[in-house]
Amino acid sequence: MLVKITLRTVLEVTLVKIAVCVKSVPDTETKIRIAADNVNIERSDVRFIISPYDEFAIEEALKLKEKHGGEITAFSIGGDEVVEVLRDTLARGVDNAVHIKDAEFDNLDTLSTAKLLAAAIASGGFDAVFCGQQGVGGDNNQVPSMLAELLNLPQATAVVKLEIEGSKFKAEREIEGAHEIVEGSLPALISAQKGLNEPRYPSIKGVMAARRKEIAVKDAAALGVAGQFAADKRKVRCVELTLPPPRPQGKMIEGEPEEQAKTLAKLLREEAKVI
């Protein structure tokens, strides 16, 4: 719940406690190569970044904190590639960072990821939990809804506009051919879609400050879940990762614009049979 503190009689400050889930993902420019195990990508030379949608989640949390005061904690599950991303998060103004890390957590499926995040977040007394709508790379769009269920929170996903007043939220979501407005109560889980805000870059001062901050590390034992997420406990697994079949060399259509248009229309109708 929101903690309201009234200072003297004129100034009212509401403190918010926010959790943000951030995922470290391969840069979107990465050329994908399949690793020798046939289920992972080759990770050497891959640059890891904050999943772009999580940047909107972080920004929205920062804006709320600016307005109401309070505290933001970022949570990320992953290996060493997470550290830089959490530093970046701290540099943007997030207060605390929790790195959830254990050899057992390799190649987690979405349900296990949501369960682990829930284990780490549940007791924190957060007013809002922010996620990105999708972790790029895995392209699942699942963890936010799963996490909302496991934390027993109402949710609004793929949000492009958010207003919070008192213990109510109003969110605009992008759906097929329309926008819809969702109203609900806090605490809640919100997942961010592009358009929600313009993420800030970390300031030099922020980067310096972030270097001195400590990143809390929690393993399976610390979360009280030892053995629960081991590979043999998972209910779905990737058995193979392949590259899509290459497209055959395309046909270039020569000539003057008029001829090109004519040939193209004909090919679309007679050869490709798509119009």
Partner 1 sequence: MSRGILVFIEQRDGQLRRASLEALSEARRQADKAAEPVVALLAGESVKGLVPGIAKCRPDKVLVVDNHSFTKYSTEGYADALTAAIKKEDPRYVLSANTSMARDLIPRVAARLDSPCVSDVSELRERNGALQAVHPMYSGKALGVFEFSAPLAFMTLRSNCFPLIEAKEGHPAQVEDLAVTPENVRAWVVETHTAAGQKVELSEAAIIVSGGRGIKGPENWLMLQQLCDVLGAALGASRAVVDAGWIDHQHQVGQTGKTVSPQLYIACGISGAIQHLAGMSSSKVIVAINNNPEAPIFKHCTYGVVGDVFQVVPKLTEECRKLLAE
Ligand X SMILES: Cc1cc2nc3c(=O)[nH]c(=O)nc-3n(C[C@H](O)[C@H](O)[C@H](O)COP(=O)(O)OP(=O)(O)OC[C@H]3O[C@@H](n4cnc5c(N)ncnc54)[C@H](O)[C@@H]3O)c2cc1C
Which residues contribute to the site for ligand AMP (CB under 6 A)?
A: 21-23, 51, 53-54, 57, 75-78, 110, 113, 117, 131-132, 134-135, 138, 140-144
| Residue 113 contact partner, candidates partner 1, ligand AMP, ligand X, none, CB within 5 to 8 A by sort of partner | ligand AMP
> Which helix or strand (DSSP H or E) is residue 8 part of?
none
137 binds ligand X (CB under 6 A): no
Token pair of 166 as six digits: 């008192």
> Site residues for partner 1, window 138-167 (CB under 8 A)?
138-150, 153-158, 160
Applying the rule CB under 8 A, the residues between 190 and 249 that interact with partner 1 are 194-195, 234-244, 247-248
Asked if residue 28 binds ligand X (CB under 6 A), the reply is yes
Q: How far is CA 197 from the centre of its chain?
A: 15
Q: Which is nearer to ligand X, 30 or 228 (CB)?
A: 30
Give yes or no for a contact between 13 and 69, defined as CB atoms under 8 angstroms apart. Answer: yes
In the complex, least distance from residue 136 CB atom to ligand AMP, rounded to whole angstroms:
8
| Torsion 111-116-117-118 (CA) sign | positive
**Does 52 engage in binding with ligand X (CB under 6 A)?**
yes
96 binds, among ligand X, ligand AMP, partner 1, none (CB under 5 to 8 A by kind): none
Quote the Cα angle for 250-253-255, to 5°.
160
Q: In Å, what is the CA distance from 263 to each residue of 268, 272, 274?
A: 9, 12, 14
- Residue 109 contact, options partner 1, ligand X, ligand AMP, none, Cβ 5-8 Å cut-off depending on partner type: partner 1
Cα separation values, 157 from 105, 191, 252, 263, Å: 25, 5, 43, 45
- Rounded to an integer, what distance in angstroms lies between the CA atom of residue 3 and that of residue 69? 11
Give, as one character, the DSSP assignment of residue 249. P
Least Å from the CB of residue 244 to ligand AMP = 20
Rounded distance between C-alpha atoms, residue 20 and residue 55, angstroms: 10
Q: Side-chain half-sphere of 5: how many Cα atoms within 13 Å?
A: 8
Binder of residue 274, out of ligand X, ligand AMP, partner 1, none (CB less than 5 to 8 A by kind): partner 1
The entry of ligand X, ligand AMP, partner 1, none that residue 47 binds, CB within 5 to 8 Å by partner kind: none
57 vs 97 by CB, closer to ligand AMP = 57
Interaction partner, residue 188 (partner 1, ligand AMP, ligand X, none; CB < 5-8 Å by kind): partner 1
